[in-house]
Chains A and B, each alone.
Chain A
């Protein structure tokens, strides 16, 4: 792999940027691998990368039915934070946050991780009690988190309406200053390039259509390009996880829903942090390009169409204009949707299954982008050892039968 550097940029300028190396190969599938990852989103690619880098398992295929990052990885609104309520979830997301902090260097790829801070607004007394409780829990877990006043909010975000005349006055917020955003497609590409450099085969336009299972043990997959074998298979397919599980005779506690986002026309810099509100139900940030990046909740019905309904857009924009009257005449440019796999306790599933050798990493629902490096890291360790990594262990499918749920509905908030 040719490393990227300032010097390299100058060198390539001399040859008119015509000699850049391809970021990853387009290999023909081998008959067998040590590990197959189904799903070439950020989580799948990160899993492959850490398998190769940390566990020396390089004979790995990532099988992706579309193109890299064509799923939720490059459809999300890129918010990264770790201020979750319960110890189990906090450990997982904070593990990820620590990896984010060194990720561009580690991958030699600029993922544009920008720690511009995230605030979660409170508009009612109950909101504020929940925020205080969550902030206290965060601090006990060593996660930077504080409760801030409307005055401080106004300092950080001058264009927000903190007046008492608002329909839902802002009473305060939780604030995580290490939180922020990253460039989502760069995350997929950076992990893909680094995994490929270790010898991982990334097979795009290849759809898994079934599993090869004998005596309760998985030993390969069927694809539209033929069979590929491996004794360890990790499924990381977000909204389509239930479809894959069904092929293996497994049922998951998931529902697939459309979740949408939209961006405005580009504006001059006006908002240099991320503002989220559970109560009026919307969130917003501004990209480096200048567009406002806006999102909110899922469409309530099950759906596999990567689009959302108009009424949800309207509802979201009402919330944004409620908080930011100044944006009322901004025009929206693009709108799109992804299929998110929501889990009953708003936490992911990282788990073995009743089929030996077949693992699932899914259920990230509306908020898994922030977990991309951490999820890949602990899932890779689990696949390498055949036993779930201690940080992943509480997220077993069994929790829905034992009752040991990790209820993060409060911290998961508006959809991410």
Chain B
């Protein structure tokens, strides 16, 4: 059972008030008609599905009904932060310059999340 902090209501509530809606920060292409099949298929269907830090959308379905973002560890299920739509995560599995946290020294932080 998760207790999730809704950044709009400002309260911790039980998981059952919320619905997960998949990976966050996926921008709809500006001009869908101009997309190649490759780009459009990737946008619709292909996901990161990481084992570890994941940024995901949730909706406070029986609360304020607003969508918001959650950074969560998909192995331990620990919720590291929740933040409003349009905001960026402060904890990521990559460094802010986009370099993946990959070498040996980064392994631990990859699991725990890198504070950007």
Contacts and interface: CB of A to CB of B under 8 A. Distances in A.
B1 A310 contact: yes
B11 interface: no
Contact of A300 (B20, B42, B72): B20
B44 A243 contact: no
A251 interface: yes
Nearest to B47: A255
B63 interface: no
A253 B45 CA distance: 5
B74 A309 contact: no
A403 B75 contact: no
Nearest to B21: A300
A305 interface: yes
A302 B77 contact: no
A129 B104 CA distance: 57
Nearest to A315: B16
B72 A301 contact: yes
B30 to A, nearest CB: 19
A300 B19 contact: yes
Interface string B42-64: 10111111110010100000000
Interface string A299-326: 0111111000111000000000000000
Contacts of B29: none
A28 interface: no
Contacts of A304: 51, 74-75
B97 interface: no
Contacts of B42: 251, 401
B37 interface: yes
Contacts of A240: 51
Given A309-B1, A310-B1, A400-B44, A302 B49 contact: yes
A58 B77 CA distance: 42
B37 A253 contact: no
Interface string B31-48: 000000110111011111
A344 B44 CA distance: 9
Interface residues of B, number: 28
Nearest to A309: B1
A303 B50 CA distance: 9
A304 B54 CA distance: 11
Contacts of B46: 251-253, 400
Contacts of A303: 74-75, 77
Interface string A217-258: 000000000000000000000001011001000011111100
Nearest to B14: A311
B41 A302 contact: no
Contact of A311 (B15, B44, B76): B15
A100 B47 CA distance: 34
Interface in A4-49: none
Given A401-B37, A401-B38, A309 B51 contact: no
25 contacts: A242-B50, A251-B42, A251-B47, A252-B49, A253-B47, A256-B49, A256-B51, A256-B74, A300-B19, A300-B20, A301-B20, A301-B56, A302-B22, A303-B75, A303-B77, A304-B51, A304-B74, A309-B1, A309-B2, A309-B15, A400-B41, A401-B40, A401-B41, A402-B41, A403-B37
Interface of A: 240, 242-243, 246, 251-256, 300-305, 309-311, 344, 400-403
Q: Which 8 A-B pairs have the closest CB atoms?
A: A401-B41, A253-B45, A301-B20, A242-B49, A400-B45, A300-B20, A400-B41, A251-B46
